[in-house]
Structure 1
Amino acid sequence: MKHSLLLSCFLLIFRLPIIAQTLTPEQLQTDFARFRTALNEAHPEMYRYTPKPTFDSLFAVTAAKLNQPMTRQEFYVTMTPLLVALRDGHIKWIVSGRDEHYPFATEKLFPLKLYFLGNKAWVTGNYGTGNVPAGAEIISIDGQPIAAIIQRLLSVMTFADGNRVGGKYEDLNQYFSGYYATFMASPDTFEVIFKTRDGEAKAALPAVTEAGIKAYVEKNKPAAQKPFRLTYKDSNTAVLTIERFWADKTDPDFGSFLKDSFREIKQKGIQNLVLDLRHNEGGEESWGVLLATYFAEKPFRYYDQIRVRQKKKYSFPVWTSKLYMKFRWLAVKKQGDGYVFTKQRGLKMQKPNHDAYHGSLYVLINGTSFSVTSEFAARLHADRKSRSGGVTFIGQETGGGYKLDTSGLFAITQLPNSKIDLGIGMFGFHMANVSDYPHHDRGIIPDHQIDPTIDDILNRYDRIMEYALKLAQSQKSALTRTE
């Protein structure tokens, strides 16, 4: 189970009321000790991106700040740099009983929906009664330049593996109001300077509530579609969309969907397939392995190894899979200076599916292509030289890492005084045969980088999809001319 399934687990397990309180230095140090112990015992590769000496210094600096009373929000913010240093997009840091994106402020939130690109932001909608027009560029908020605000918030966000920022930008697009309230300010009124074609203007915007934001999102969300679907653009081109690698009770069976879809693609003689993996945050690891068999031309290995931190029982109170804790002595073994998990389909040699697709493949990715999605995309990318039809990646760099990520089953502990839940992915998934990729801390970098513009967002124009379809058509035309 990966990123998109975790929030419900936290809310079900630790649904406790928020009580406004100030924590004493003794309480802060107790929670700090639990936090550090949990990371040391549960995180499979804590020092993957940040060396231990650097981490030890960060812990020392943080501990020194906990020598005076703090509110829970102050403690939450003080501890966040330690989580950022992990550079693990799956780490969870959630105030019990609260939406993870609105951990404290619920009544004094920024009232505009924004779209972020680089160091700029534009208005795409109003949560409240403000009169800032859609398409206006935000220059500053409460006297702070928007570029400075963006950089401040990016520095405290965790939704990214390694040095990726794409997932963070996607989070800003969805939850800027919550991040701003948590890490910057939550006034009654926001002073905004914005720019339109008529020049710059100023507005004083009343704050909105979390409930108001969620009502706006619900009202304006796109019409629901099946999470897995196959459509055709012409007699030679198909689009396979996979929004997530998990299903609820009303969704079609994933295995049956793939079986039927790829049989149909083969029967129709499709030569160009667009695989849309944008905004797919992941799900079940086995689904990624299964999908990979439909694009393989020879046997392959999916995972090289799956690392775990230790085999013994944790020394701190924790919720995790009872089945795993009971049978870990069978599934975990010593390897080198650590331990590995041995019972996983992706560790075995995989065979190509009988109806595997061998034509031209165009894979659409972006910052929320994460977890299982990044693993699967990395497998395609690493093996594309062996495919006769070729693979082209289009869009924006994935939020998930290329070579490895930390996810799978989670160890969840609640800090005793602050009542903040820390969730740690216990498995380190290492992709097989990816040593040729030169970036150890990056995701899948597209062959064609395409960034949607504010006009695209407002007009609901899918620039990335249209680019892929035009590219497929141009390559088809070039092939026809050479025959």
Structure 2
Amino acid sequence: MKRILLLSSLFIISSCVSVKKHNEKLEIPISVEKLKEDIDYTHRKLEQLHPKLYWYISKEELDYKFDSLKTTIQKPLKPNEFYQKLAPIIAKVREGHLRLYPYQKRLTKKEIKDLEKQKGLLGRYNFVIDQDRIFVKDNADKIENMNVGTEILTIKDIPVKDLLDKYRPIVNSDGFNTTFQKYSLARSWPGFFTAEYGILDSVKIEAKYQNQLKTFYLHREKITKEEKVKTEQENKKLTKSQAGKTKDYNIVTRSFNRDLQFPMKDSTVAYMKIKTFSGTYSRKFYRQSFAMLKKSPAKYLILDVRDNLGGSLSEIRNLYSYLVDEKFEFVTGEVTSRSSLIQADYFEFVPTLAKPIAAITYPLYLIATSLSIKKQENKFYLRNIGTFSLKEPKRNHFAGEIYVLINGSSFSASSIISSKLKAEKRAFLVGEETGGANDGTVAGRYATTKLPNSKLKLPVGLILIQPKIQFTETKKGVLPDHEMIPTLQEILQKKDLQLEWIMNEIKNNGNSTKV
């Protein structure tokens, strides 16, 4: 017993030392020579791994940007000072899945436990960005001074515009899309702020609400025992299966990821909201939902993928099979070489206890990966198996008319299925240009590169995934058939004019607007 306690104590001490050593590097400047080595290393890795590096930027232009960056490195920089310089260059590739990650401060086990007992600071709210301004979009906990519609003017005495000007260059979308950044920045700026200024217990805010200026502090509150018990009971109740749903409840957002409703009394219209293509419980949800649709009098299906950032390629392919009545090829996958997928993050998400088994099966993985790639016209593609194979439509496929709701935060998998449905003239799209590109994206599998000196992490997508369509070559997102961009006031007032427009079209049998 004493030996176990001794080993446990040594492990804890070792862990604390490791955290301390890691965090000390945050404040140690890196020499100019080593920073330039990291720039060259990043450039080489992108050329080696990325299957469509010069899709939106020429080789000459990207080479010039990397070379120019090296000339600006005149003095030693701390890791995250270097991050602020390198991240905007990587964003110039204009590939939404490609992003550099700052050097993250590590927390001790005690610090993690303490945070688990507390509520968030800025992360408790949803925000909306209007040009250089930040507004509170949601305040679920009804925190004082943070009413919906409150404009944040300064944080920690820093003007919001200065923060957005700093963070905007490192947020990119697919291609020359212009709609994604405002949504992405609204989600990510609190994280950038925390990475820069640390995990704060409180922060000073200057804000304006209904033309009244106010200054106050947001505090990180403790979670009371009563609140913890109440939340657990609510989550337990909500995660129970309900009619038309599966156990697909997201405890963080306090909502179901997928939902099917019939908004009209006669059930001729079905509304399916999908918040994320996570893959979890998806097969059961679609099987149950489309069985229900088959028995219902529904003539119209509204598929809402607004604010859906994507996820599982397998899920959207499965969903698509419920929306068509003919065999189809859904996507193609291209890689840089026969061996590129071997560099994917194989052990990254394997639990510690399972890693010995993963190590034993690794040779089989290498063989299977190599065999899954074929060479065709001097390019390398994933073979037509699994997700990339020919697929039959589902027996319970929906035969009625389909509307798809999209916006600038419809990204990755959401853009792929929207693009495919539009190209095949199977759906009528309403909303705004998607954040993900019409002609595909680079994702699927990743190889995470750690820069040798700054230790910044750069996950690089290895597969060019493209819908099986006639490409538009616009280098933009999926364009709606009927564009409707909500105003700031409509967003804050929770007015859904896009959905209302579709419902009115259906009520008026307004098919004449379709192209």
Q: TM-score range by the shorter chain?
A: 0.7 to 0.9
1:276, 1:361 → 2: CA distance? Answer: 11
Check conservation: 1:302, 1:432, Cα contact below 8 A: yes
Q: How does 1:253-268 map to 2 (within 5 A)?
A: 254-268=282-296
1:209, 1:28 → 2: CA distance? Answer: 37
Shift of 1:178: 3.5
Aligned partner (choices 313, 336, 356) of residue 397 of structure 2 = 356
Aligned partner (choices 488, 504, 510) of residue 470 of structure 1 = 504
450-459 or 232-241, larger mean C-alpha shift: 450-459
AA partner of residue 175 (structure 2) = G
Structure 2 equivalent of residue 135 of structure 1: 149
1:181, 1:97 → 2: CA distance? Answer: 10
2:124, 2:392 → 1: CA distance? Answer: 52
Q: How does 1:441-456 map to 2 (within 5 A)?
A: 441-456=475-490
After superposition, the C-alpha distances for 1:323-377 in whole angstroms (9 at most, x for unaligned) are: 6544333122333343222254343333332222121211111222221221111
2:509, 2:367 → 1: CA distance? Answer: 54
2:146, 2:122 → 1: CA distance? Answer: 16
Aligned partner (choices 402, 407, 429) of residue 438 of structure 2 = 402
Are 2:260 and 1:230 aligned?
yes
> Does the residue aligned with 2:101 lie in a helix, a strand or coil?
strand
Shift of 1:207: 7.3
Check conservation: 2:303, 2:405, Cα contact below 8 A: yes
After superposition, the C-alpha distances for 1:359-418 in whole angstroms (9 at most, x for unaligned) are: 12111112222212211111101001xx4xxx2212222111110100011111222332
Are 2:332 and 1:319 aligned?
no
Q: How does 1:77-96 map to 2 (within 5 A)?
A: 77-95=84-102
Q: Compare the two structures and name the one with the higher strand fraction.
A: 1
Are 2:49 and 1:23 aligned?
no
458-467 or 43-52, larger mean C-alpha shift: 458-467
Structure 2 equivalent of residue 8 of structure 1: none
Structure 1 pair 472/18, CA: closer, same or farther in 2 (3 Å)? farther
2:365, 2:176 → 1: CA distance? Answer: 31
Structure 1 equivalent of residue 359 of structure 2: none
Check conservation: 2:344, 2:445, Cα contact below 8 A: no
Shift of 1:232: 1.1
**TM-score relative to the length of structure 2:** 0.72
**TM-score relative to the length of structure 1:** 0.77
2:484, 2:181 → 1: CA distance? Answer: 17
Aligned partner (choices 398, 412, 433) of residue 371 of structure 1 = 412
After superposition, the C-alpha distances for 1:21-69 in whole angstroms (9 at most, x for unaligned) are: 2111233233223322221211111111100000110110122233420
Structure 1 pair 256/113, CA: closer, same or farther in 2 (3 Å)? closer
AA partner of residue 228 (structure 1) = R
Structure 1 equivalent of residue 388 of structure 2: 347
Structure 2 equivalent of residue 244 of structure 1: 276
Aligned partner (choices 328, 337, 347) of residue 310 of structure 1 = 337
1:223, 1:110 → 2: CA distance? Answer: 12
1:184, 1:225 → 2: CA distance? Answer: 31
Check conservation: 2:410, 2:434, Cα contact below 8 A: yes
AA partner of residue 337 (structure 2) = Q
Identity, in percent, stands at: 23
1:307, 1:243 → 2: CA distance? Answer: 28
2:129, 2:475 → 1: CA distance? Answer: 23
Shift of 1:440: 2.6
162-171 or 146-155, larger mean C-alpha shift: 146-155
Shift of 1:143: 9.6
Check conservation: 1:119, 1:146, Cα contact below 8 A: yes
After superposition, the C-alpha distances for 1:54-102 in whole angstroms (9 at most, x for unaligned) are: 0110110122233420011111011112211111111142235569xxx
Are 2:421 and 1:380 aligned?
yes
Q: How does 1:35-434 map to 2 (within 5 A)?
A: 35-95=42-102, 97=104, 114-118=127-131, 120-124=133-137, 131=145, 134-137=148-151, 150=164, 153-158=167-172, 160-179=173-192, 192=206, 194=208, 196=210, 199=211, 201=213, 203-204=214-215, 206=217, 224-234=254-264, 235-248=267-280, 252=281, 254-303=282-331, 305-312=332-339, 319-320=345-346, 322=362, 325-384=366-425, 387=426, 391-434=427-470
1:225, 1:194 → 2: CA distance? Answer: 30
Structure 1 pair 229/128, CA: closer, same or farther in 2 (3 Å)? closer
After superposition, the C-alpha distances for 1:140-178 in whole angstroms (9 at most, x for unaligned) are: 7799986776565433213x1112243321222223234
Structure 1 pair 281/344, CA: closer, same or farther in 2 (3 Å)? farther
Structure 2 equivalent of residue 11 of structure 1: none
Structure 1 pair 313/460, CA: closer, same or farther in 2 (3 Å)? closer
Tell me which structure has the larger Cα radius of gyration. 2
> Does the residue aligned with 1:296 lie in a helix, a strand or coil?
coil
Shift of 1:445: 1.6
- Structure 1: gaps of 5 or more residues: 1-13, 100-105
- Structure 2: gaps of 5 or more residues: 1-17, 107-114, 233-250, 348-361
Structure 1 pair 129/275, CA: closer, same or farther in 2 (3 Å)? closer
After superposition, the C-alpha distances for 1:246-277 in whole angstroms (9 at most, x for unaligned) are: 244xxx3x223222322221221311111111
Shift of 1:432: 1.7
Check conservation: 2:39, 2:66, Cα contact below 8 A: no
